[in-house]
Amino acid sequence: MSLTKLFTLVFLRKEDQILLGLKKRGFGMNKWNGFGGKVEPHETIIEAAVRELSEESRMTVKPSDLINIAHLEFTFHEEPVMMDVRVFSQKTFEGTPKETEEMAPKWFNIKDLPFSKMWPDDEIWFPYMLEGKKFVGKFHYKGFDTILHHTIEEQESMEAFYANRK
Ligand SMILES: CNc1ncnc2c1ncn2[C@@H]1O[C@H](COP(=O)(O)OP(=O)(O)OP(=O)(O)O)[C@@H](O)[C@H]1O
């Protein structure tokens, strides 16, 4: 793999609901997803997670409140780039979700998620997140609709996973 790009992905939770946003432009357009984007060179992963959440939904979280629940890796057939996605979940936040240039946010009941309008990998790993598990998921795509293969491994802690990764 010649190039790794770092991304964040944040999910806010409220009772039996989860906040998703309909992406209005760019990568993943017309799909529901959590809020996130590329980590810029001058910022930490946590700073990027807080910034992207605010830019895309106008919701605010304290950096120290964000809980890293998963690490996802996406690769694409015959593409040299690996997407390294850090996933966070949080029940403590401030604000009312507002539509922005990039996303239209909406609360969904966790039993009624719009998987047919989400990334195909979401349907595979969301159950782990919704059960409160920590995990590492790796997905290899052909195009943007077909997963050629994937793995998911539960983790004791994400800190231990990153510490033990070479
Ligand atoms: C392939 N399967 C996938 N499954 C679930 N989620 C996926 C994903 N692939 C990308 N994602 C997430 O989608 C966002 C893209 O962010 P993206 O719009 O590219 O970033 P950013 O806002 O910095 O871009 P611009 O400012 O528009 O250039 C980012 O949260 C990233 O984690």
Establish whether this prediction's ipTM goes over 0.85: yes
Give the up-direction half-sphere exposure of residue 99: CA atoms within 13 A in the CB hemisphere. Answer: 5
Q: Which residue owns the Cα nearest ligand 1 atom 15?
A: 37
Instruction: Measure 34 CA to ligand 1 centroid, in angstroms.
Output: 9
DSSP state of 120: H
- Tell me the pairing of strands 103-109 and 32-33: unpaired
* 28 C-beta closer than 6 A to ligand 1: yes
Instruction: State the residue for tokens 């799909």.
Output: 31
- The number of helix segments (H) and strand segments (E) in the chain equals 3, 8
Q: Which domains does the chain have, with CATH numbers?
A: 3-164 (3.90.79.10)
Distance, CA of 110 to chain centre = 16
Has residue 2 got a pLDDT over 90? Answer: no
Has residue 1 got a pLDDT over 60? Answer: no
pLDDT digits (tens, 9 = 90+) for 61-113: 999 999 999 999 999 999 999 999 999 999 999 999 999 999 999 999 999 99
* 88 C-beta closer than 6 A to ligand 1: no
Which atom in ligand 1 lies closest to the alpha carbon of residue 7? Answer: 32
pTM: 0.96
Q: Which of 5, 6, 8, 9 to mutate to test the pocket of ligand 1 (most atoms within 8 A of CB)?
A: 9
Strand partners, 68: 88
What residues have CB less than 8 Å from 78, skipping those under 6 apart?
Answer: none
Arithmetic mean of pLDDT over the chain: 96
First and final C-alpha spacing in the chain:
15
13: which 2 tokens?
């939770």
Strand partners, 35: 10
